[in-house]
Amino acid sequence: MRQLPTPLPGVFLLAPEPREDSRGLFARVFCTGELAGLLAGRHVVQINHSRTRLRGALRGMHFQHPPAAEMKFVRCVRGAAYDVVVDLRAGSPTFLGWFGATLSPETMQTMVVPEGCAHGFQTLEPDTELVYLHTAPYTPALDGGVRHDDPRLGIAWPLPVAETSPRDAAFPLLDANYPGITP
């Protein structure tokens, strides 16, 4: 698989190299050997699956504070989603910058979200399903988030937001003194 860089350091799109024949195709979507440089000793410890029924629904922007900070590998297995990563890493040259890409079963790409970055997505089709691989277990006491509509971030969502959770809508706006996440 190919690691496609993005404008945010440490954020990649993984693009498989499918093999096709008359039966269909086969593609490797995750391999600890091929991704050893990215994983840098981390291990996948949890796999989650989400289904979002409504087109235009938004989930995010989520992260976990250290010491439960996690790297995520996010792949769309049904429908389509505009997947966004926001750099919250203190001292990063792209601090408060964001990157978004459309994930779908057709592209077969996986978004790599490093520790210290918030992640979220907006569904582009009804009944969109994503699978997430995490390098740390979910730790509610260290859960965090930023607002998807924070003017300091200026994320350009492709659709009007049709639905979000009360929890996600209640995340605070970032103030001018927001220090970022320190490992």
Query: So which residues are the catalytic ones?
Result: 62, 132
Instruction: Output the six-digit token pair for 45.
Output: 């410890």
Residue 7 φ then ψ, to 5°: -70, -15
Distance CA 75, CA 129 (A): 9
Tell me the three-class secondary structure of the chain, residue by residue: CEEEECCCCCCEEEECCCEEECCEEECCCCCCCCCHHHHCCCCCCEEEEEEECCCCEEEEEEEECCCCCCCEEEEEEECCEEEEEEECECCCCCCCCEEEEEECCCCCCEEEECCCEEEEEEECCCCEEEEEEECCCCCHHHEEECCCCCCCCCCCCCCCCCECCHHHHCCCCCCCCCCCECC
